[in-house]
Amino acid sequence: MLNPTTLELVGDREIVIHRRFAAPARIVFEAYTRADLVARWWAPNVLGVEIVSTEADVRKGGRYRYVIRPLGGDPIGFNGEYREVTPHSRIVYSQVYEPMADLGEVVITVTLTEANGQTDVRFSELCPSVHVRDGIIASGMESGMRNTFDQLEELVITLAAT
């Protein structure tokens, strides 16, 4: 059974996401931060996005860069700096969306709380403006639409072949 992912808006610049994982915080923290593991989950494959590369120097002042490629699109990079790394409980880092770096950085705070062998993760994205927040939310719509278009294309190809 899958744990639900919930999303809420707080004020006009923050997106907060909650998710529970069936593992101790130590393991969730490792999966969330270690570059070789991030490579296996950060690109939502079901939406047609794939990972190109992940690099991360997970310590205060260290930097990271993740590159993804939407289906049929050019690679898109995200990078930033770790502001706080408290093993197994809290990570604060900045994130710049490279194609629109001039929009400023989003500050992401991830809080892990373990209870009874499970871990609740609170993921907050604090945006520089309401416009950036709305742009981030719209990015979900774009990848979702791309997926729909892909399915449509597959369907058309299937129909054409019969």
Partner 1 sequence: MIETFAALSDPTRLRIVSLLREGPQAVGAIAERLSLNQPQASKHLIVLKKAHLVDVEARAQQRLYRLDPAGLMAVHEWLEPYRRLWDARFIQMDEVIAQIMRDETQDRKD
Residues near partner 1, by CB under 8 A: 2-7, 9, 11-12, 15, 17, 19, 21-23, 27-28, 30-32, 37, 40-47, 123, 130, 134, 136-141, 143-145
**Residue closer to partner 1, measured from CB, 86 or 129:** 129
**Residue closer to partner 1, measured from CB, 4 or 61:** 4
- Cβ–Cβ contacts within 10 Å for residue 112, how many? 22
**Residue closer to partner 1, measured from CB, 66 or 162:** 66
**Residue closer to partner 1, measured from CB, 2 or 160:** 2
**Residue closer to partner 1, measured from CB, 141 or 157:** 141
Token pair 């995200």: residue: 78
Bridge partners of residue 49, in order along the sequence: 70
How many angstroms separate the Cα of 103 from the Cα of each of 35, 79, 127, 150?
26, 14, 10, 30
Long-range contacts of 124-127 (CB under 8 A, 24+ apart): 124/10, 124/14, 124/15, 124/16, 124/17, 125/14, 125/15, 125/16, 125/17, 125/95, 126/13, 126/14, 127/13, 127/14, 127/15
Q: Of 77, 97, 78, 73, which Cα lies nearest the Cα of 147?
A: 73
Minimum distance from residue 61 beta carbon to partner 1 (Å): 26
Minimum distance from residue 159 beta carbon to partner 1 (Å): 26
Minimum distance from residue 160 beta carbon to partner 1 (Å): 29
Minimum distance from residue 162 beta carbon to partner 1 (Å): 30
